[in-house]
Amino acid sequence: MATVSVCMIVKNEETVLARCLDSLRAVADEICIVDTGSTDRTKEIAARYTDKIFDFEWIDDFAAARNFAFSKATCDYIYSADADEVIDLENIRKFKALKNALDGEDVEIVQFWYCNQLEHNTTYNYDRELRPKLYRRVRTFRWTDPIHETVRLDPVIYDSEIEVIHKPEKPHGTRDFEIFGKLVAGNVPLSKHLRGMYARELFVSGKEQDFAAARPFFSRLADDPDISNEELMDVFCVLAKAAQLAEDTDAFFAVVLKVFVLPNPPSEICCMLGEHYEKLGNSEEALLWFTNAVYETKPVLSLEYGGERAKAGIDRNSK
């Protein structure tokens, strides 16, 4: 049977940590907890489950903290967990079976189904998606092909049927926007993935001040000649929303007009146009754009703008 190290980074998780570890203790051969500065009972609770508790000075870098946690693991595989996750009994049974199946295999990454995202206002436009959660701790490089042999570079990935339930007690937007702000202020380059996450998080939990703070960064992205049309659409959505919140009508329509030059304008822009005309008292025009948001376009950052938010606008302006 393959062995599993559960690795976690935590800070002030006293309300959810026991729930998470109770669900994982049946599959964990080792539990490594890395605390990044808790001031509550987190470390005391963790001590009920493991003596492998380590301190890591928080430097606004989740990757650095997770790398440190992974460095403490000693088992065949590492399961990366967050304190606000739970695996129920049915899926724990699947996890145990998976440990048996992995013994002696070359699988390097196992993906689990990450579930329950939309209920808790997270930054993802899905409720269930495959996410890499289990990693082989030490990778073995192997030669392949009987002739013209080459070293296999791509990892062997297995998609399991195991479900992880995400059950956060509060959104993490405030914390994340502080980190984004520090990265941008320090001129730290953001990857395409991180830029997309920044845009999504703004639409899910950003307040007016968050959009205002992000506006200069996304304005610079809009002027980047190397940016793809797909990412440019995200950028324009953020800039349009920032202008709308600032009641800067000229800037709002300057962005909107650029969007309609690109293929497949998104629901977010149509919904914002509906809100603009609704505010002016033009129900007929507002209804047109809310209808386009729901039935003629698709959202790129927030499902709400092509769903409940726009549908509510249709209801209000159909009366």
pLDDT at 245 over 60: yes
Residue 119's pLDDT is 53
- pLDDT surpassing 60 at residue 122: no
123 pLDDT exceeds 50?
A: no
Mean pLDDT across the stretch 266-274? 97
Tell me which of 137 and 142 has the higher pLDDT: 137
pLDDT of residue 171: 61
Query: Global pTM?
Result: 0.78
Residue 170 pLDDT class (50, 70, 90 cuts): low
| One-letter identity of residue 291 | T
The per-residue pLDDT for 70 is: 97
pLDDT band at 319 (very low <50, low <70, confident <90, very high): confident
Q: Which domains does the chain have, with CATH numbers?
A: 4-166 (3.90.550.10), 173-317 (1.25.40)
The b-or-e profile of 255-292 (16+ CB within 10 A means b, else e) is bbebbeeeeebbbbbbbbbbbbbbeeeebebbbbbbbb
The pLDDT value recorded for residue 142 is 85
Give me the pLDDT at residue 124, please.
47
| Average of per-residue pLDDT values in the chain | 92
pLDDT tens, residue by residue, 11-67: 999 999 999 999 999 999 999 999 999 999 999 999 999 999 999 999 999 999 999
